[in-house]
Amino acid sequence: MFGLKRKPPYYRSVREVADNDKKPKNDTTNSPKKFIYGNYNRYYGYRNPSREPDGRLSLMKKEWFEGKNILDVGCNVGQVTLAIATNFLPKTIVGMDIDRELILVAKKNIRHCLIDNSDGDLGAGESACDGGGKTENGVDESKNSSASNDIKRVHLLKSVFFIHGNYVPEDDGGVDLVIEEYDVILALSITKWIHFNFGDDGLKRSFKKMYKQLRVSGLLVLEAQEWSSYKKKKKLSDTIYQNYLSIQFKPDQFLDYLTNNIGFQLIDTLLPKHVQSKGFQRPIWIMQK
């Protein structure tokens, strides 16, 4: 995918998990598409019908990302990935999603950013690539000079990669193979879908993998869905329903597990303000390795 001469440092771990990209057992392939991984295109009106800016982006701080290696797990069509790349200038940022179609859209959205297309294709408000609104430092990124925008376009070409694959390790052996390679991992609104499709063990392995992939002092930016939201989607597939019935590891236990079992330290809890869409109102934990 990257060509023989351009394998970035994170290439190995992406290849290691790519072969896990399988449908859960008991799911039929000819039935109408059900978004069993939460892989609806959330930026085309499903989750954000008012097309308001993603309020989570206003909480992000440039110092978390600038010059760093970033992984965005469950990146969907890449709106958050591209907004971070554009505004915060990471060294590299990898967006990964289990849905091949969403990754294809995300790659196209790089081109939209490169030509400064602001026709709302990403559903991000005024600008498709900046995520809309102001960042934490109060700077309105939509008012950058033309020269600054040119620099950002060049940076996008060098720093942004979108990968199709399944992040969840099949077993503990998959976790053992993981190496430190990222400074920040984003896990926004994906815990429920990992839980649904891979159960308690799959989610715990994913948390362990995130910890192992982070460098010392690295950050996990985690937005977990509340338990009440599980009930609404529990019958999307037979696998999901059976996993739902067997769940013992509830969202209100995540923080204790992440800190006391894995080793993360909670350094901040953020809450988007003035956001109408319920899908963007959840607390965001900033966890440090």
> What are the residues whose beta carbons fall under 8 Å from the beta carbon of 264, sequence distance 6 or more?
211, 220, 258, 287, 288, 289
CATH for 164: 3.40.50.150
Quick check: 72 and 96 in contact, CB under 8 A? yes
In this structure, is residue 46 part of a structural domain?
Answer: no
Q: Helix (H, G, I), strand (E, B), or coil: what is residue 241?
A: helix
Domain total in the chain? 1
Domain containing 282: what range?
A: 55-288
Which of 13, 148, 155, 131 minimizes the C-alpha distance to 78?
Answer: 131
Report the range out of 15-24, 31-40, 203-212, 233-242 with the highest average pLDDT: 203-212
What's the pLDDT score for residue 131?
56
Task: Give the chain's largest Cα–Cα span.
Answer: 55
Between 123 and 205, where is the model more confident?
Answer: 205
Six token digits for residue 198: 């891979």
In a domain, 5, yes or no: no
Q: Is residue 220 part of a domain?
A: yes
Q: Report pTM.
A: 0.77
Under the banding of pLDDT at 50, 70 and 90, the label for residue 170 is: very high
Please report which confidence band the pLDDT of residue 147 belongs to, taking 50, 70 and 90 as the band edges.
Answer: low
Over residues 263-284, the mean pLDDT reads: 80
Mean pLDDT of the chain: 79
Residue 91 has pLDDT above 70, yes or no: yes
In a domain, 124, yes or no: yes
Between the alpha carbon of residue 214 and those of residues 10, 55, 221, 239, 259, the distances in Å are 12, 25, 12, 31, 15
User: Is residue 96 situated within a structural domain?
Assistant: yes
Residue 26 lies inside a defined structural domain of this protein:
no
Residue 37 has pLDDT above 50, yes or no: no
Q: Is residue 35 part of a domain?
A: no
Give the mean pLDDT of 203-229: 98
Q: Sorting pLDDT into bands at 50, 70 and 90, what band is 111?
A: confident
Q: Which residues of 102-122 are buried (b: 16+ CB within 10 A; e: fewer)?
A: bbebbbebbebbeeeebeebb
Backbone angles phi and psi of 183, in degrees to 5: -95, -30
Per the domain annotation, does 72 fall within a domain?
yes
